[in-house]
Structure 1
Amino acid sequence: MKLFKIITFLLITQWSISQEYFPNNESIKQTYKNYVAITNATIYISSTQKIDNASILIKEDKIVDIGAGIPIPKEATKIDATGKTIYASFIDVFTEFGINKPQKKGGFNPAPQYNSERNGYYWNDHIRADFNAFQNLNYDDKTAKDLREAGFGTVISHLNDGLVAGTGVLWTLNDNESNATRILNKKISQHFTFNRSAFSNQSYPSSLMGSMATIRQFYHDANWYAQGGSKTKDLTLEAFNENKNLIQIFNAGDKLNVLRADKIGDEFSINYLIKGSGNEFERIDDIKKTKATLIIPVKFPDAYDVSDPLLANQVSLGDMRFWTQAPYNLKILADNNISFVLTANELKNPKDLLANLRKAVALGFSKEKALASLTELPAAILKQTNIGSLKKNNLANFIITSGDLFDEKTTIIENWVQGNRYSIEKLNPTSLKGTYDLTIASEKYDLSIEGEALKPEVKIKQGNLEFATKTTYNEPWLNLVIRSKDTTKTTFIRLNGILKDQVISGNGFNENGTEITWSASKKNEEVKKQDDSKKEDIKKTTPMSVVTFPNIAFGNIEKPKQESILFKNATVWTGEKEGILKETDVLIENGKIAKIGKNLSYSGKTIDATGKHLTAGIIDEHSHIAISNGVNEGGQNSSAEVTIEDVVNSEDINIYRNLAGGVTSANLLHGSANPIGGRAAFIKLKWGYSPEEMLVKDAPKYIKFALGENVKQSNWGDYSRLRFPQSRMGVEQVYEDYFSRALAYKKEWNEYTTNKSKSKIKPRYDIELEVLNQILEKKRFITCHSYVQSEINMLMKVANKYGFKIQTFTHILEGYKLADKMAAHGVGGSTFADWWAYKYEVNDAIPHNAALMNKEGVTVSINSDDAEMSRRLNQEAAKTTKYGNISEETAWNFVTLNPAKLLQVDDKVGSIKVGKDADVVLWSENPLSVYAKVEKTMVDGILFYDLEKENQKNEAVQKERNELINLLLDAKNKGMKTQEPKKKSTGHYHCDTLGEKCRVFHAKYTN
Structure 2
Amino acid sequence: MRKKVLFAWLLLLTITTRAQETFPVNGVAEPKASCYAFTNATIVKDAATSISNATMIVRDGKITAVGAALTIPADAMIIDCKGKFIYPSFIDLYAEYGMPVAQRTQGGFNFNAPAQITSNQKGAYGWNQAIRTDVQGVRIFAGDNVKAKALRESGFGAALTHQRDGIARGTGVFVSLSDSKENKTVLKEKASAHYSFNKGTSTQSYPGSIMGSISLLRQTYLDAQWYKNNPAAEGVNLSLRFWNEQQTLPQIFEANDKWAVVRADKIGDEFGVQYIMKAGGNEYQRVAEMAGTKATFILPLNYPAAMDIEDPLDARFVSLTDMKHWEMAPANAAMFEKAGISFVLTTSDLRDARQFLTNLRKAIEYGLSESKALEALTKTPATVLGMYDVVGSLEAGKIANFLITSGPVFAEKTTIYQNWVQGEKYSVKDELWNDVKGIYNLTINTPGGTKTFVLDVKNSTTASVIGKDTLTGRFTFDGKQVRLNFPEAKGSRNNIRLSGIANDNLWSGVGDDVNGGRFTWTAVYSKETTVKPDSTRSKPPVKIGAVTYPFNGYGYTEMPKQETILIKNATVWTNEKEGVLQNTDVLIKNGKIAAVGKNLSDAGAKVIDGTGKHVTAGIIDEHSHIAAASINEGGQSVTSEVRITDNLNPEDINIYRQLSGGVTSSHILHGSANTIGGQTQLIKLRWGANDEGLKFQNWPGYIKFALGENVKRSSSQQNNRFPDSRMGVSQVLIDAFTRARDYEASWKKYDEEKKKNPKATAPRRDLELDALVEILNKKRFITCHSYVQSEITDILRVADKFGFTLNTFTHILEGYKVADKMKAHGANASTFSDWWNYKMEVVDAIPYNASIMQQVGINVAINSDDAEMARHLNHEAAKSVKYGGMSEEDALKMVTLNPAKMLRVDDRVGSIKVGKDADIVLWSDHPLSIYAKAEKTIVDGIVYYDREKDKQLRLDIAKERARLMAKMIGEKRMGMPTVPFAPSMEIMHTCSDHNHSHGLLVVDADELNQNSNQ
Aligned equivalent of 1:3 = none
More displaced stretch, 111-120 vs 385-394: 111-120
1-side partners of 2:524 and 2:294: how far apart? Answer: 63
- Residue 364, structure 1, aligned to residue 367, structure 2: yes
**Correspondence for 1:145 among 121, 124, 149:** 149
Once residues 450 and 772 of structure 1 are traced to their aligned partners in structure 2, the CA distance between those partners, rounded to angstroms, is 82
For the Cα contact (< 8 Å) 1:101–1:136, is it kept in 2? no
Shift of 1:974: 2.3
Residue in 2 aligned with 1:186? 189
Alignment partner of 1:31 is 2:26: no
> 2:286 maps to what in 1?
283
Cα deviations across residues 323-353 of structure 1 (Å, max 9, x unaligned)? 2211111111111111111111111122222
Partner of 1:248: 251
1:206 equivalent to 2:191? Answer: no
Superposed, 1:397-412 pairs within 5 Å as 397-412=401-416
State how 1:341-420 maps to structure 2 within 5 Å. Answer: 341-384=344-387, 385-420=389-424
Tell me: CA distance 1:324–1:448, structure 2 relative to 1, closer, same or farther (3 Å): farther
Hey, what does 2:617 align to over in structure 1? 616
SS in 2 for 1:594: strand
Residue 732 of structure 2 corresponds to residue 734 of structure 1: yes
Change (3 A) 1:362 1:985: closer
Change in 2 beyond 3 A, CA 1:520/1:113 = farther
C-alpha distance after superposition, 1:258-291 (max 9, x if no partner): 1111100000000111111121111111111111
Match of 1:320 among 323, 346, 363: 323
Q: Distance in 1 between matches of 2:230 and 2:247?
A: 17
- Deviation of the 1:499 alpha carbon: 7.2
Structure-2 separation of matches of 1:886 and 1:400: 83
2:124 aligns to what SS in structure 1? Answer: coil
After superposition, the C-alpha distances for 1:896-937 in whole angstroms (9 at most, x for unaligned) are 001101101000111111000011111100111111111001
- Give me the whole-angstrom Cα distance separating, in 2, the residues matched to 1:276 and 1:879: 48
| Residue number among 745, 748, 751 corresponding to 1:747 in the alignment | 745
Deviations 1:551-600 (A, max 9, x none): 11211111111111000001111111111111100000000000000010
Once the two structures are TM-superposed, the CA of residue 975 in structure 1 deviates from its matched residue by 2.3
Q: Pairwise mapping of residues 916-931 of structure 1 onto structure 2 (< 5 A)?
A: 916-931=916-931
Taking structure 2 as the reference length, the TM-score comes to 0.88
Measured against aligned partners, the alpha-carbon deviations of 1:866-903 in whole angstroms (never above 9, x if no partner) come to 11111111111111111111111111011000110110
Distance 1:194 1:636 in 2: 18
Name 1:8's counterpart in structure 2.
Answer: none
Tell me, yes or no, if the aligned pair for 1:575 and 1:910 is still in contact at 8 Å.
yes
CA shift in 2, pair 1:704/1:429, >3 Å: same
Which whole-Å CA distance do the structure 2 matches of 1:391 and 1:543 have between them?
40
Using the TM superposition, give the Cα deviation of residue 459 of structure 1 relative to its aligned residue in structure 2, in angstroms.
Answer: 9.3
Closer, same or farther: CA 610–350 of 1 in aligned 2, 3 Å = same
Q: CA deviation at 1:420?
A: 0.8
| Aligned 1:816-855 pairs, distance under 5 A | 816-855=816-855
The answer to whether the 8 Å contact 1:478/1:496 transfers is no
Partner AA of 1:424 in structure 2: V
Structure 1 pair 764–447 and aligned structure 2 pair: CA distance change class (3 A): farther
Contact 2:253-2:277 within 8 A present in 1 as well: yes
For 1:130, the aligned partner's letter is D
The whole-number CA distance in structure 2 between the counterparts of 1:821 and 1:673 is 26
Partner Cα separation in structure 1 for residue 509 and residue 594 of structure 2: 91
Out of 966-975 and 808-817, give the one that drifted further.
966-975
Q: Which residue of 2 aligns with 1:723?
A: 721
> Which residue among 120, 124, 133 is the counterpart of 1:120?
124
1:988-1003 equivalence runs, <5 A: 988-996=988-996
Partner of 1:938: 938
For 2:436, the equivalent position in structure 1 comes to 431
Alpha-carbon distance in 2 for matches of 1:875, 1:688? 27
One-letter code aligned to 2:227: Y
5 Å-filtered alignment, 1:375-524, equals 375-384=378-387, 385-426=389-430, 428-431=433-436, 453=459
Aligned residues: 952
Kept after mapping to 1: 8 A contact 2:322/2:984: no
Q: TM-score, normalised by structure 1?
A: 0.89
Name 1:16's counterpart in structure 2. none
Amino acid at match of 1:363: Y
User: Helix, strand or coil: the match of 1:36?
Assistant: strand
Deviations 1:705-736 (A, max 9, x none): 000100001113x12x2100000010000000
The letter of the residue matching 1:741 is R
CA contact (8 A) 2:208 2:635 kept: yes
Deviation readout 1:833-885 (Å, 9 max, x if unpaired): 11110000100000111111111011110100011111111111111111111
Q: Partners of 1:419 and 1:526 in 2: how far apart?
A: 36
CA contact (8 A) 2:40 2:80 kept: yes
Instruction: Give the unaligned 5+ runs of structure 2.
Output: 1-7, 18-32, 445-452, 487-492, 1000-1014
Over the aligned positions, Cα root-mean-square deviation in angstroms equals 3.5
1:624-663 superposed matches below 5 A: 624-628=625-629, 630-663=630-663
* Secondary structure at 1:891 match in 2: helix
Counterpart CA distance in 2 for 1:697 and 1:995 is 29
Which residue in 1 is equivalent to 2:200? 197
1:221 corresponds to: 223
Aligned partner letter, 1:621: E
Structure 1 residues 894 and 387 mapped into 2: Cα distance closer, same or farther (>3 Å)?
same
Q: Is the 8 Å Cα contact of residues 206 and 997 (structure 1) preserved in structure 2?
A: no
**For residue 239 of structure 2, what is the amino acid of its counterpart?**
T
SS at match of 1:219: helix
* Cross-structure match for 1:572: 572
SS in 2 for 1:588: strand
How far apart in 2 are the matches of 1:828 and 1:686?
27
Return the match for 1:310 from 310, 313, 338. 313
Q: Distance in 2 between matches of 1:829 and 1:460?
A: 95
Are 1:268 and 2:271 matched, yes or no?
A: yes
Q: Tell me the secondary structure at the aligned position of residue 400 of structure 1.
A: strand
Shift of 1:167: 0.4
**CA 362–951 in structure 1, closer or farther in 2 if over 3 Å, else same:** same
Provide runs of 4+ in structure 1 moved above 4 Å: 25-30, 101-110, 432-437, 446-451, 456-467, 469-482, 492-507, 517-528
Residues 741-784 of structure 1 deviation map (CA, whole Å, 9 limit, x = unaligned): 00000111111111222553211100000000000000000000
Distance 1:26 1:688 in 2: 59
Supply the AA of the counterpart residue of 2:249. Answer: L
Classify 1:564/1:341 alpha carbon distance in 2 versus 1 (closer, same or farther; 3 Å): same
Tell me, yes or no, if the aligned pair for 1:480 and 1:494 is still in contact at 8 Å: no
Residue matched to 2:881:
881
Contact 1:324/1:543 (<8 A) preserved: no
Alignment partners' CA distance in 1, 2:659 and 2:251: 41
Q: How many Å apart are 1:100 and its aligned residue?
A: 2.6
Judging changes above 3 Å, is the alpha-carbon distance between structure 1 residues 79 and 459 closer, same or farther for their aligned structure 2 residues? closer
Structure 1: distance between partners of 2:925 and 2:403: 72
| Per-residue Cα deviation, 1:516-574 (whole angstroms, up to 9, x for no partner) | x999999998644334543553x436411111001112111111111110000011111
Residue pair 2:91, 2:157 contacting (<8 A) in 1 also: yes
**Residues 927 and 260 (structure 1 numbering): CA distance in 2 closer, same or farther, change over 3 Å?**
same
Equivalent residues of 1:27, 1:145 under 8 A apart: no
Contact 1:644/1:669 (<8 A) preserved? yes
Q: Which 10-residue stretch deviates more, 427-436 or 363-372? A: 427-436
The 1:824/1:435 distance shift into structure 2, 3 A limit, reads farther
Name the SS of the counterpart of 2:986 in structure 1: coil
**Do 1:399 and 1:413's aligned partners in 2 also have CA atoms closer than 8 Å?**
yes
Distance 1:819 1:96 in 2: 60
For residues 227 and 494 of structure 2, the distance between their equivalents in structure 1, rounded to whole angstroms, comes to 77
* Partner SS state of residue 634, structure 1: coil
Find the counterpart in structure 2 of residue 135 from structure 1: 139
Secondary structure of the equivalent of 1:755? Answer: helix
Task: Output the amino acid matched with 1:750.
Answer: K
Question: Which is worse superposed, 523-532 or 151-160?
Answer: 523-532
